[in-house]
Every structure is written in C-alpha cells, then in structure tokens.
Amino acid sequence: MDKPWLLDSGASHTITSDLANLTTHSEYDGTDEVTLGDGSGLEISHIGSLSLKFPKKIFHFPDTLCVPYLCKNLIPVHHLTKHNNVFVELHPLYFFVKDKHTGMILLRGTCSNGVYTVPKPMVSSSPKVIAYVHERTSTDGWHKCLDHPSPKIVAHLLKSFSLPVSSSKLSSLCNSCSINKAHQLPFRPNSLKSQAPLDLVYTDVWGPTSSTGIDGSRYYIIFVDHFSKYIWFYPMVKKYDVSKIFSKFKNFVETQFQTKIKSLYSDNGGEFITLRSFLSHSGIGHYITAPDTP
C-alpha cells in the first residue's frame, strides 16, 4: 500500500502493482500487456478482484490487473462509477465521489500537480485465493500454463514430472486452441435471397476422379436451386464441358419451371470464366465466391 492510488480517466482497467492488494486472483495466461505513454509494455502477472475500504464505503473493482513493475496504482473513473453506483465530480484542487441516488459525498481526494490522488485506503484481504490455486492445478490449468499442448502431451508431462493435479479430466474444447488452430474464421451469414425457383442457382465442378466412369466421365458438375434446394447432377468427360452442359441445363429447367434463370453463383474457376459471354448475352447475373472459400 506504499504506492499511491491515482484516479485515471484514460485507463481501461484497475491496475495494482502489489498482488497482496487483490482479494481473489489467478495467474494471467494471456498475451496482453499494459501499454505506457511512451509505447512500452509491462507484463501482467495476475488478474483478480480488488476491494478498497474507506470510512464511508467499500469500493469494489472486478477484473483488476496486477502489474508488478508499475510505479503507481490506477483506478479508472469508468470502473469506479460502473461497479459502485457512484459518480465523480472533478474540481481544480480536489474531487468528490458521490452516491448516485442521494448525492452524498463518499470520498474526497486532492489534486496535486494536475493529478487526482485517492486517499490511502485499507485493502480488504481474503483467503479465497485457495480456490483459484485449485483451479490452476487442474488439467485444464496445466494445459494453459504449458502453452496449450494436446491432451496426450499434457497427460504425459503430468505423469513424467509428477505434477500436482486436482482434476485429471481435460475439457474437450479450449476456446484459445479452437481460434488459434483454425485455418480461417467462421463465415458470416450471407445476404443472398431468392423468392422463387431459378432466382439463384449455385454450381460447382468436382474432379478428376481416380477411376473413369463407364461413359468415360472423370468429372461432375452440380446445380443447386437456392430457393427449392433441388440438385441437378451431370457427369462430364472433360472439365471444360461446362459450357455445353450449362446450355442444356438452362433450356431444360427454364422449360420445366416456365421461368428464366436470373443469377448463377460459382467459384472463379476457368470453366466458369468461359461462360461469362453466354451469361451476359442471356441476361443472367454471375456471382463468384471469394478465393479459398467453399
């Protein structure tokens, strides 16, 4: 409690340099740092809850960061007002913290050299940290501490080094692993809509296959109607038979449905690029998917 507590309107988190100030805490296993004004970063060692006791009120600050090498303790104005049902009045030489409903003054601090300094509080301590130690020695906790290895490697390390473990069960899903090991982010819902058959038709080509069909085909093309989800399947001998087959497909479905194909959706493969002039002449819009997407 030797380091002063400062009221800060620019900080995003309550920050203390002394781990003993936190009533409950756990080790921080993320990669973020506290960025200073000169652009340098300071390591976060723990995250937990903080309670500061004053004569008229105890103020609570969840998600407080412990940054051992910080020379000041910081209280964000936003955290103070959000979690304690109060508001702050800033004056040239002092500040007030008041109850939101009654307006009663709960805390008064001074302004020195342009900095608002919070009076020295008493920190409420608690033995609740034991529960967090238990959490950190679970298999999930070791998984995070060891930089997210596979369950098999975690089990091997726990056994080889006789590491203390409170729970041997490893959760099947780790959010950090899922995000960082994914090849790409999930796709957003698209805005394409259809009101009737043939408003929008999807198409794609697959092949070549390792074996040849009895008709000599090594590829196939499918057409999917966006509205009805009906699928048409055509085997192909050569990949560039697309132009010939699409012409036949167009005549067939437009006759059956008594309506025209309005839009075609495909990837940007060369077999579909050759269709552009035909589609343009027929008044059919052509949409293409982004590269490296299904």
Query: What residues form DSSP beta bridges with 99?
Result: 86
Q: Is 8 a catalytic residue?
A: yes
DSSP the chain: --SPEEEESS-SS-EES-GGGEEEEEE--S--EEE-TTS-EEE--EEEEEEEE-SS-EEEEEEEEE-TT-SSEEEEHHHHHHHHTEEEEE-SSEEEEEETTT--EEEEEEEETTEEEEPPPEEPP-TTHHHHHHHHTSHHHHHHHTTS--HHHHHHHHHHTT---S--PPPS--HHHHHHH-SSPPPPPP----SSTTSSEEEEEE---SS--TTS--EEEEEEETTT--EEEEEESSGGGHHHHHHHHHHHHHHHHTS---EEEE---HHHHTTHHHHHHHT-EEEEPPTT--
Considering the candidates 2, 8, 38, 140, report the single residue annotated as catalytic: 8
Angle at alpha carbon of residue 45, lines to 69 and 175, rounded to 5°: 145
Which residues are annotated as catalytic?
Answer: 8
